Amino acid sequence: MSKPDQELIAECLSGQTHAFGDLVARYQNRLFNTLVGVLGSVEDAHDVAQEAFVNAFQKLDTFRGHSAFYSWLFRIALNSAVSQKRKQRAVVSIDAAREQSGDEPIDRHPAARPEHALETNERQIAVRAALAELAEEFRTALILKEMEDLSYEEISEIVGCPIGTVRSRIHRARAELRVKLQGLLREPCDS
Amino acid sequence: MKQPFSEEILSAYIDDELPAQERAAVERWIEESPEAREKLDGFRRLSGLFADLPRNEVPPEFPTNVLQLAERRMLLPEARPVQARQSLRRWALAGGSSIAAALVLGLMLQAYLPDGAPHQKAVRFDDGERPAGGPEVAVRSRALSEGETQDLAPAVASNKLSSLRGALPTYEQGAGPAAPTPAEDKLDRDSPESGIGRSAGARGERSKSAESVAALAVISPDQRKQIDQAMDEIGKTPEDENVVAVVKFHVIDRAEGLVLLQDAFADSQILVESEQAGEEGRSEGKIAAKSAAPGAVGNEALYVVAEPEQLRAAIATILAREKFALGLEIGDPIEIAALDDISKKRVQQVDRELISNVAGNRPTAPEDAKRSADAQAASERQKRERAKSDGKPGLETAAPALAEKKSLSKAQAAGREPQKPAEPKQKDNARPDAELKTPVPADKEAIEAPASQARQTVVNLPPEAGNQRGRAGTPRKESPSQKSAHRNSQRAPIFTKELAERDKDGDNDERAPALMRVLIVVEESAK
């Protein structure tokens, strides 16, 4: 049976570095996939995830256990992601979406907007591209909800804002996505 | 008609984030209102799109990479954080190679040290000295008495030992320590502590195991300070191509020490350069180093040009091995002109090649790195082919050939099959994803990466240089050669500055550090 996070943290703080490896293995893919969604780039997500784990390792003695280790880790990762994006002035683009699918880019011509992207890969590309166009705070909140199924409270801990703000951000993200992906949703635009 | 609830409430409803009373009211509204049902359906279909998104997985070596990077940060607290995609490549080139150096040197030293090595003590960072908080991290070991060994908490000691097993930790999920490679297995004989996270048990047990494990050590704060001072001193050396800083290692066996030093630097991608090329060149260098009979005092030294981080890591690796390096000392800089003709020629050859590389091939920004690396690789291939057709390999071929050989030999030493060439990518555009799905081991990256700029070569030291005594971290009196250097620095080409000017956009991010030139002298000292 796997050990609880707190036990692994205690072991790590007592000098058993390998325990941190268990924590990394436990959360690496969740963190990585969330970061892919937030950053829009597999490579950047890998780097930021790695950096986040290293930072978490170095700051582990400051972790008080008031929140879940996972929330704490995600907060570190998102801070790293934000600072990296600022530094790189990275633009999450459809190219990044293509990187993740390994497929050819969809045509940027208006006639080939997401509403025409019906194949699975194209649908994924369209979703990634639409996500990339969202404001960062909306995108982050929605990804933490939809991909990680975190509660509003957990998301508020991670992004550092009130629960009401999280609810609002998630709704606004959905509303925007609904417009951008109306072709995929086969739903008339009502706003 | 006004809607009784906002869309935001509906959004929270599908997330199950409404209080019971409000939830019940919303459900009634949904039953009554087709419009509400349509909106709800839209949100649910949107969620379905997320469910279709592919989930990626990080490479299996990810936890190990994290642990190694974390420990490296602890060892080199001033090391810059990993930045974006630079990290993977530069990690393979500089950081990774330093780690590899530590690993390989660790294994070599374990094999080198005689049985019945002295007991070890794992030294704990004092709270005020621990670089960045976090857990205790062992980075190296050093031989101390059994009494000292027993002062340590078992958990900490276990960590030290485990970390030192291969100089840096590896991680295997759910298995505690990774399965030992043949080399590690050799080291693990008679030792109950054979991996990271393995409990040491009682102190007595740990001490017993300590007896059988070859000398392991940690970098003590004093040693770290010593390295900092040494790096400062090297940095203060006049920026003059005619003058080179001198670092002296005091060792027990000079001949063996020089060979080990050479290998340690080579494993840090500080490639061996000599008049002979390739395999031959390296052998020649080692023969030169070994030519002094054990116990005799020769005058060979290593001329090393490397990035500060590479130097620091290699010096730390060497210095930490107390069984090998008894101390570090800064000597007076010496003038290249004082070297004999062969040595001068070798030094100049290294310098010429580096300047040529910087001027011609060295990438100036991350986005240019791949293109430049490809160009450099093509250039190296051409040189190799040209040299082969001449029947005499060119000097430039030594470095990449050696790098490739060493990478392969490292893989073999670790009990792995040499890496096969990567599968051709389906599409260039799919590169990042493909890389992650088919992770490339560090050794593989080292093979494919452009050759390191760093070089080392064996030179003969002028007799008087060996007698100059310095002291690590203390200001030196200006020697005649330094005075000359100061004079010369006003007119001589300054290539360290030339190398430093690579940060075109001034954000200090993609700049590779300037190379440092240093003459590594090995002196035999009584323990």
- Rounded CA-CA distance A136/B99 in Å is 36
Q: Say if A121 is an interface residue toward chain B (CB within 8 Å).
A: no
To probe the interface with A, which of B66, B125, B218 has the most A CB atoms within 10 Å? B66
> What digits encode the pLDDT tens for the residues B425-471?
333 343 333 333 333 333 333 333 334 567 777 777 776 554 444 44
* Pick among B41, B43, B46, B68 to test the A interface (most A CBs inside 10 A): B46
Does residue A112 surpass a pLDDT of 70? no
Q: Quick check: B433 contacting A, CB < 8 Å?
A: yes
Q: What's the start-to-end Cα distance of chain A, in Å?
A: 51
What one-character DSSP code corresponds to residue A58? H
Structure confidence at residue B522 (pLDDT): 78
Candidate from A32-46, B83-97, B144-158, B208-222 with smallest mean pLDDT? B144-158
- Closest by alpha carbon to B260, among B225, B234, B286? B286
Q: What is the pLDDT of residue B326?
A: 67
Q: Is the pLDDT of residue B341 over 70?
A: yes
Structure confidence at residue B500 as a pLDDT band (50, 70, 90) = very low
Higher per-residue confidence, A178 vs B299: A178
Helix (H) or strand (E) holding A74: helix A69-88
pLDDT of residue B102: 43
- Please tell me the distance in Å from B186's CA to the nearest CA on chain A: 22
In chain A, % of residues over pLDDT 70: 79
Q: Do B136 and A15 touch (CB under 8 A)?
A: yes
Nearest to A24 among B63, B85, B153 (CB): B63
Confidence (pLDDT) at A66? 83
Question: How distant is the Cα of B522 from the closest Cα of chain A, in angstroms?
Answer: 35
Q: What percent of chain B has pLDDT over 70?
A: 34
User: Residue B52: closest CA among chain A residues belongs to which residue?
Assistant: A124
Asked if pLDDT for residue A153 goes beyond 60, the answer is yes
**Looking at residue B145, what is its pLDDT?**
34
Give kind and range of the element (H or E) at residue B368: helix B366-390
- A92 and B CB contact within 8 Å: no
Most confident of B37-51, B243-257, B359-373, B473-487: B37-51
Of B380-394, B481-495, B507-521, the least confident:
B481-495
- pLDDT(A126) > 80: yes
Say whether A21 and B66 touch across the interface (CB within 8 A): yes
Nearest-Cα distance to chain A for B105, in Å, is 22
Residue B14 has pLDDT above 50, yes or no: yes
The DSSP-derived string for B463-508 is: HHHHH----TTSPPPPPHHHHHHHHHHTTS--HHHHHHTT-TTSSS
> B36 or B406: whose pLDDT is higher?
B36
pLDDT at residue B445 in the model: 34
Assess contact for B277 and B344: CB atoms under 8 A.
no
Residue B318 has pLDDT above 60, yes or no: yes
Looking at CA atoms only, how far is residue B447 from chain A in angstroms? 21
Q: By the CB < 8 Å criterion, does A189 face chain B?
A: no
- Residue of higher predicted confidence among B102 and B44: B44
**Lowest-confidence region among A173-177, B2-6, B82-86, B301-305:** B82-86
Looking at residue A46, its pLDDT comes to 93
A49-53, B170-174, B241-245, B479-483: least confident range: B479-483
- B463 to chain A, any CB pair closer than 8 A? The answer is no
pLDDT tens track for A71-83: 999 999 988 887 7
Chain B: give the shortest CA distance to residue A183, in Å. Answer: 11
Q: Residue B83 above 90 pLDDT?
A: no
Interface-testing mutation among A28, A46, A53, A184, with chain B (most B C-beta atoms within 10 A): A46
- Summarised one tens digit per residue, pLDDT across range B105-163 is 444 434 333 333 333 323 233 333 344 445 554 333 333 333 333 332 222 333 332 33
What is the rounded average pLDDT of the residues B376-401?
46
pLDDT of res. B54 = 85
Phi, psi values for residue B200, rounded to 5°: -80, -20
* B499/B95 Cα distance (integer angstroms): 19
Under a CB-based contact definition with an 8 Å cutoff, are residues A28 and A21 in contact?
Answer: no
Strands B120-121, B142-143: pairing kind: antiparallel
**Does B385 reach chain A within 8 Å, measured CB to CB?**
no
Report the pLDDT averaged over residues B340-364. Answer: 67
**Chain A contact set for B430 (CB, 8 A):** 99, 102-103
- Residue A86: pLDDT over 60: yes
DSSP code at position B172: B
Mean per-residue pLDDT over chain B, rounded = 56
Q: Residue B170: pLDDT above 70?
A: no
Which chain B residues contact residue A185 at CB under 8 A?
Answer: 42, 45-46, 49
Instruction: Please give the ipTM for the structure prediction.
Output: 0.80
Please give, one letter per residue, the 3-state secondary structure of B237-272: CCCCCCEEEEEEEEECCHHHHHHHHHHHHHHCCCEE
Residue B391's pLDDT is: 44
Is A32 in contact with B57 (Cβ distance < 8 A)?
A: yes
Highest mean predicted confidence (pLDDT) among A87-101, B58-72, B74-88, B96-110: B58-72
In this predicted structure, what is the pLDDT of residue B298? 62
The whole-number pLDDT of residue B241 equals: 73
Across A15-29, A135-149, B23-37, B134-148, least confident range: B134-148
pLDDT tops 80 at residue A143: yes
The answer to whether B47 and A178 have CB atoms below 8 angstroms apart is no
Q: Of A17, A98, A187, which has the smallest distance from its Cβ to B196's Cβ?
A: A17
List of chain B residues whose C-beta atoms are within 8 Å of the C-beta of residue A22 = 173-174
pTM above 0.90, yes or no: no
Residue B89 has pLDDT above 50, yes or no: no
Q: Name the residue facing B87 among A14, A24, A50 (closest C-beta).
A: A50
**Chain A residues whose beta carbon lies within 8 Å of the beta carbon of residue B176:** 18
The residue that leads in pLDDT, A176 or B2, is A176
The DSSP bridge pattern shows strands B516-524 and B300-306 to be antiparallel
The answer to whether B81 faces chain A, any CB pair under 8 Å, is yes
Mean pLDDT of chain A, nearest integer: 81
For B82, which of A47, A174, A178 is closest by C-beta distance?
A47
Q: Which of B9, B10, B13, B53 to mutate to test the interface with A (most CBs of A within 10 A)?
A: B53
Of chain B, the percentage scoring pLDDT greater than 90 comes to 6
Most trustworthy range by pLDDT among A58-67, B139-148, B318-327, B477-486: A58-67
* E runs forming strands in A10-114: none
Question: Could B134 and A84 be called an inter-chain contact, meaning their C-beta atoms sit closer than 8 Å?
Answer: no
